[in-house]
Amino acid sequence: MDAVELLPQLKALTREISSDLPLKLGFRWNPGIGQGFNAKVITAGASSTEGIPIKFGIDPHRLEEAWKQAISLGFQPSGLHQHLGSGWTGSDFPVISQAVERLVRTAQRLEEKWGPLEFLDFGGGFAPRYQADQSLFPLRDYALTIKNKIQQSGLKSKLLIFEPGKFLVAEAGLLLVKVEYIKSSFGHLFACVNAGTFNSLPRPAIYPEARHKVVNASCVHSSQPVTLTIAGNLCETGDVFAWGVKLPLPQPGDILAILHAGAYGESMASTFNLRSRPRAFYLT
């Protein structure tokens, strides 16, 4: 449950459900701090780094109000959830640790007033290694921080939930595109391909910080790589899969592999500009 205001609506929906047991609810709160690789994917705090108000989660000052209202409506609050943002790297660890502290401390206060929680959900956000020089989020330190905070607090909740979806599946997919032609303009060299970002892998067009490694699958190695922009076929200046990448000079017909497309690739693809989405093949 993401908002106190939704509780009456949920109660109206549940009147049609016949059950002798109370319906359990988990609450997503907003701990007041968030972190993400781009302002658009920061999902906690009062506002993003660009000043956009954050729509997610229940204000900490209204969490107990939500708990009381849920009980008065016949629900059974059973857990607490937070999600801070997406794309954490090593430098984000201090902020994430602070949010862990806030979640545990708040859960402790709720347990003191209303009894044991069934679960705590710490959400997700750790980034896969998109770039070779990227510092990975310290998962072991993160786990130890949570373990220590839980033990010190005396919380009775036995279930801890994590949501590492992108971290697990990003490397499992890649996007294959064909080079149609090579273009030189104002000192820039473009490999123009037969796909558009918004139709296949929108992340680089939506988030400037989203960098995907590109491999010339038709000619992997070269003693004289060139610096390229991988340009899509849409009517958008931002329709580029990568820029400033060094590859063996592609030829028309070469296949380029854009890596780490297994997360937020096919699921975000669209028919932007009335272009079709790419075919997907699954290997098991």
| Whole-number pLDDT of residue 240 | 97
Q: Same structural domain for residues 136 and 178? A: no
CA dist 162 and 184 (Å) reads 47
pLDDT of residue 158: 84
Mean pLDDT of 219-236: 94
In the chain, what percentage of residues exceed pLDDT 70? 98
SS3 128: coil
pLDDT of residue 243 exceeding 90: yes
Q: Within this chain, do residues 23 and 152 fall inside the same structural domain, yes or no?
A: yes
Q: Are residue 103 and residue 210 in the same domain, yes or no? A: no
How far apart, in whole angstroms, are the C-alpha atoms of residue 58 and residue 30?
5
What pLDDT sits at residue 19? 64
Structural domain includes residue 280: no
Confirm whether 192 is a catalytic residue. no
Question: Does pLDDT of 18 surpass 70?
Answer: no
* pLDDT for the residue 225: 94
Asked whether the predicted pLDDT for residue 196 surpasses 80, the reply is: yes
Number of domains in the chain: 2
Residue at 96: amino acid letter: I
Q: How high is the pLDDT of residue 164?
A: 94
Q: Please state the length of the chain.
A: 284
> Based on the domain organization, do 52 and 76 belong to the same domain?
yes
In a domain, 123, yes or no: yes
The single residue of 21, 235, 274, 283 carrying the catalytic annotation is: 235
Same domain for 35 and 8: yes
Domain assignment present for 279: no
The stretch 256-269 carries a mean pLDDT of 95
Q: Which residue, of 137, 166, 195, is where some domain finishes?
A: 166
Whether residue 26 is found in the same domain as residue 131: yes
* Residue 71: closest CA among 40, 115, 16: 115
Q: Which range marks the domain in which residue 95 is found?
A: 4-166
* pLDDT higher than 90, residue 179: yes
Last residue of a domain, one of 136, 151, 166: 166
Residues 160, 177 within the same domain: no
Confidence of residue 67 (pLDDT cuts 50, 70, 90): very high
Say if residue 251 is in the same domain as residue 148.
no
pLDDT band at 181, cuts 50/70/90? very high
The pLDDT-based confidence of 223 (bands split at 50, 70, 90) is confident
Last residue of a domain, one of 166, 192, 227: 166
Confirm whether 284 is domain-assigned.
no
E-strand stretches of the chain: 23-28, 75-81, 119-121, 159-161, 175-185, 188-193, 214-216, 226-231, 240-247, 255-258
Q: Could you report the per-residue pLDDT of 121-175, keeping only the tens digit for each? A: 999 999 999 988 899 999 999 999 999 999 999 998 889 999 999 999 999 999 9
Burial 134-157 (b: 16+ CB within 10 A, else e): eeebbeeebeebbeebbeebebeb
> CATH number for the domain including 226?
2.40.37.10
